[in-house]
Amino acid sequence: MARTPRTYQAHEQQALEWMAAQIRQARQNSGYSQEELAARANLSRSHISKIESAQYDPQFTTLLRLTTALKLSMQDLLRGNG
- Reported pTM: 0.86
CA atoms of 18 and 24, how far apart (whole Å):
10
**How many residues comprise the chain?**
82
* DSSP states along 12-69: HHHHHHHHHHHHHHHHHHHT--HHHHHHHHT--HHHHHHHHTTSS---HHHHHHHHHH
pLDDT along the chain (82 residues), means of 10: 70 94 96 98 98 96 97 91 74
pLDDT at 4: 64
Q: Give me the pLDDT at residue 9, please.
A: 87
What is the per-residue pLDDT for 72? 95
Q: Candidates 1.10.260.40, 3.30.420.40, 2.40.160.20, 1.10.150.110; correct CATH number of 7-79? A: 1.10.260.40
